Structure 1
Amino acid sequence: MDLATCTYQEFQPSMGAPIRTTAGHPRFPLGYELGGHARLITPTRDLLVQNLPEDAYEFSYRRLLNGQGINRISTELAGLAARNSGARLVLLCFDRYDQLRPGDAWCHRGMFAKWWFEQTGEEVPELGAQKPTPPPVLF
């Protein structure tokens, strides 16, 4: 399956089919129509309001993904791909990696990409701005 991740703000229709992975809809106008909602990989509102540090959030989010199971998630994503004529699914959320504070450059879409690779061996590239690269340490 052809998957990628990006933000709502950076997505361009040439990237593929835009798929929502957020608990809420964007509160700003989109210049494109969403191709669906990947409900099984969307973090729960309960998880979001806990404001956990990255490691605790990832633990809880992976528990959610493992509870849904790779087969159910794959089936849901395959259905979204079929409804979008087999286009690459671009899994969208709000956080731009290049605009997050140092040390907080993470988002559930990156955690999903890592989990998906561990489960399937398939890479899920990020199409938006990349995480800031720390400056080199000079001695």
Structure 2
Amino acid sequence: MKIATSCWFEKLDPNVYVRIGISRGVPRGMAAGYRRYSKLNPGSWFNSVSPVRYKELYFYEILRPLDPNQVVAELLAMADGKAPALLCWEAPTPGPAWCHRGLVSAWLHDTLGLEVFEVGQEHQGAGWRHPKLAPELRQQKKPPPVR
């Protein structure tokens, strides 16, 4: 099973990916063929808090009530046998522009052990190393095992 993240404006191979929006809105003029999964949309605070506070709110208000197994099952059902690509607005390149899709990757890694990569940036990592996490939240190296 493969789930990926990307940006609304990235060209994705339609033979591989089904575009599923997890943003509060969709860009004007977006071509048909995408789907929406509003359960992962950020809250109304999405553009008004620090990255650390955003993480706290997103995990508490958005992710905590969800069953990750059910979320994955619903995303896979929406994808009709292809890989769901979870889309939001921020460009895929690493840098100061972070996005909640990195938090989704971290949540799915922590809860189900899934590695959800940014399309085209698989080498950057998944989970808490996902390139769209804010720098203060991102772990550059795998943490040591808990003993």
Global fold match (TM > 0.5): yes
2:4–2:116 Cα contact (<8 Å) kept: yes
The percentage of aligned residue pairs carrying the same residue is 27
Secondary structure in 2 matching 1:5: strand
Kindly name which structure, 1 or 2, has the bigger radius of gyration based on alpha carbons.
1
- Checking the alignment, whether the CA contact within 8 Å between 1:16 and 1:87 is kept in structure 2 is yes
Distance 1:41 1:31 in 2: 21
For 2:25, the aligned partner's letter is G
Which residue in the other structure is 2:9 paired with?
9
Correspondence for 2:88 among 86, 90, 93: 93
Q: How far off its partner does 1:38 sit?
A: 1.3
What TM-score results when the alignment is normalised by the length of structure 2?
0.71
Give 1:89's aligned amino acid. Answer: P
C-alpha distance in 2 between matches for 1:11 and 1:111:
22
Task: Mark the CA change 1:48 to 1:18 in structure 2 (over 3 Å): closer, same or farther.
Answer: same
Q: Which has the higher helix share?
A: 1
Q: How many residue pairs end up in the alignment?
A: 123
Following TM superposition, by how much is the alpha carbon of 1:32 offset from its aligned partner in structure 2, in angstroms? 5.5
The aligned residue for residue 33 of structure 1 is: 33
Amino acid at match of 1:65: L
Q: Give the distance between the partners of 2:78 and 2:101, measured in 1 at CA.
A: 17
Q: Which has the higher contact order (CA 8 A, sep 6+)?
A: 1
1:58-97 matches, within 5 Å, as: 58-63=55-60, 64-81=62-79, 85-97=80-92
How far is 1:33 from its partner? 1.9
Unaligned runs of 5+ in 1: 133-139
Equivalent residues of 1:13, 1:32 under 8 A apart: no
Q: What secondary structure is seen at the aligned counterpart in 2 of 1:33?
A: coil
Structure 2 spans left out of the alignment, 5+ residues: 125-130, 133-147
Runs of 4+ more than 6 Å apart: none
TM (norm. structure 1) is 0.75
Q: What is the deviation of 1:97?
A: 4.3
**How far apart are the structure 2 equivalents of 1:9 and 1:78?**
22
Distance 2:32 2:11 in 1: 9
Return the alpha-carbon distance in structure 2 between the equivalents of residues 48 and 128 of structure 1. 25
